[in-house]
Chains A and B, each alone.
Chain A
């Protein structure tokens, strides 16, 4: 049970939701949007957050979209992880959504996961790798922006703005991918120490895009990682031998030259995460190699 009293608002439109947030904010109240609610309800019960107003946006039709237009697949942020897995229109997203347990996946929303308070936010990884577009509702109505412009460690939105949907080019959703997730003791239902995804956009010799969660303080896509992975892939491709990965690219020197510190907490040391990250890079490359069944793609 949540100890404090709250006001619960269920708007019928995006504008009503926006207006309700602005009104509550102007009154000096602590206001949150409620989507799946798994994190918000739990944190409120634990007294980690103290919402006075909750605006339930989980039934807004724009946020419930699972659609496609001529160019893009559209994923509304109120879709649950279970719905994303079942639809499987973007297989890498389905894989990344296969986190937590089955019953939580029935409530946890895409928006709640990508914009949550926990540092992992693993369902954002395929969108980072695929250079997704994001629809945001704010003061000027609905706008679209590349994810790279609004996501840096987290979605950087103005107060009251609503993350409506994420859009991925249909071709991107079909490209070969690789996924590795490492947890303590290999437990499937646990927070990740490292989750790494590759999406091979196949546009020439530098098409692999990488996104990582768990290893650092926030999910990220990093140009240096992309570059190093693609160089390793080219070397492997030229030599037609995947065993070259482990020797050529992922020694300590590589991770030490990253300008982002590895996360260190009670779950794992930075050194261990660095080790797992290098292992994940190697495993992802081999997964991708195997998807081409040994045939070079160049």
Chain B
């Protein structure tokens, strides 16, 4: 049984590296990634599980890091936008102007990456189902949708 109180030192596996961090048990993964590890790809948007700007992969599955306690991720593989090495996907977002202000983009990239891993050739229904997790306040959804179509087969 593990018991964590006050400030605790734990090891996280982030983007393939083992990272030592001192966290409060109440810290969310989003907070730890940004404030302790300097990985600012995940953005603090709503911090309510609605906007998807903080999306990261946990054991390969996209989750909202604002709803996850850091201490609960010990032993799991965390992958942030910085650790997404799919240049084809990123280039597709550039080519199709799949972003405007860019705040939501890391969340979209992470989620799209997971989508294409799970469904290498997704149909429109699957794409829309997955992307309902993320909000673009600039409403640039068409460009994002095109970017994913362009990335299919290249990722």
Q: A residues within 8 Å of B by Cβ?
A: 1-12, 16, 20, 34, 37-38, 41-42, 44-46, 54, 56, 58, 82, 101-104, 106-107, 188-189
Return chain A residues, CB-CB under 8 Å to B48: 42, 46
Known contacts A1-B27, A1-B31, A103-B52, A41 near B68 by CB under 8 Å: yes
Check A103–B133 contact: CB distance below 8 A.
Answer: yes
Query: Of A10, A42, A188, which one neighbours B1 at CB under 8 angstroms?
Result: A10
Q: Please, how many angstroms separate the alpha-carbon atoms of A4 and B24 in the complex?
A: 10
Q: Please, how many angstroms separate the alpha-carbon atoms of A42 and B6 in the complex?
A: 20
Q: Quick check: is B47 within 8 A (CB to CB) of the other chain?
A: yes
Return chain B residues, CB-CB under 8 Å to A106: 58, 61-63
Return chain B residues, CB-CB under 8 Å to A10: 1-3, 71-72
Query: Of B3, B6, B58, B111, which one neighbours A5 at CB under 8 angstroms?
Result: B6
Q: Quick check: is B49 within 8 A (CB to CB) of the other chain?
A: yes
Chain B: CB-nearest residue to A56: B72
Return chain B residues, CB-CB under 8 Å to A6: 25-26
Q: B residues within 8 Å of A by Cβ?
A: 1-6, 24-28, 31, 47-49, 52, 55, 58, 61-64, 66-69, 71-72, 111, 129-130, 132-133
Known contacts A5-B24, A6-B25, A102-B133, A38 near B67 by CB under 8 Å: yes
Q: Please, how many angstroms separate the alpha-carbon atoms of A244 and B27 in the complex?
A: 58
Query: Of B3, B26, B68, B72, which one neighbours A44 at CB under 8 angstroms?
Result: B26
Q: Please, how many angstroms separate the alpha-carbon atoms of A10 and B111 in the complex?
A: 29
User: Shortest CB–CB separation between residue A3 and chain B, in angstroms?
Assistant: 8
Return chain B residues, CB-CB under 8 Å to A38: 49, 64, 67
Among A11, A12, A42, A56, max chain B CB count under 10 A is at A42
Query: Of A7, A56, A82, A103, which one neighbours B64 at CB under 8 angstroms?
Result: A103
Chain B: CB-nearest residue to A16: B1
Known contacts A11-B1, A34-B72, A45-B47, A4 near B26 by CB under 8 Å: yes
Return chain A residues, CB-CB under 8 Å to B72: 8, 10, 34, 37, 56, 58
Q: Please, how many angstroms separate the alpha-carbon atoms of A162 and B111 in the complex?
A: 33
A/B interface sample: 16 pairs, CB < 8 A: A4-B26, A6-B25, A8-B25, A8-B72, A10-B71, A41-B68, A42-B48, A42-B67, A45-B47, A101-B133, A102-B130, A103-B63, A104-B67, A104-B133, A107-B58, A107-B68
Check A82–B26 contact: CB distance below 8 A.
Answer: no
Among B47, B64, B66, max chain A CB count under 10 A is at B64
Q: A1-B31, A2-B28, A5-B26 are in contact. List 13 more A-B contacts (CB 8 A).
A: A1-B26, A2-B27, A3-B26, A8-B3, A9-B1, A38-B49, A42-B49, A44-B26, A45-B28, A46-B48, A102-B111, A103-B111, A106-B58
Known contacts A7-B3, A8-B4, A42-B49, A34 near B69 by CB under 8 Å: yes
User: Shortest CB–CB separation between residue B117 and chain A, in angstroms?
Assistant: 13
Return chain B residues, CB-CB under 8 Å to A5: 5-6, 24-26
Return chain B residues, CB-CB under 8 Å to A188: 132
Chain A: CB-nearest residue to B25: A8
User: Shortest CB–CB separation between residue B85 and chain A, in angstroms?
Assistant: 20
Q: Please, how many angstroms separate the alpha-carbon atoms of A266 and B69 in the complex?
A: 32
| 3 A-B pairs closest in CB distance | A8-B25, A2-B26, A101-B133
Return chain A residues, CB-CB under 8 Å to B68: 37, 41, 107
Q: Please, how many angstroms separate the alpha-carbon atoms of A97 and B62 in the complex?
A: 17
Chain B: CB-nearest residue to A7: B5
Q: Please, how many angstroms separate the alpha-carbon atoms of A276 and B111 in the complex?
A: 34
Q: Please, how many angstroms separate the alpha-carbon atoms of A4 and B31 in the complex?
A: 14
Query: Of B3, B25, B67, which one neighbours A37 at CB under 8 angstroms?
Result: B67
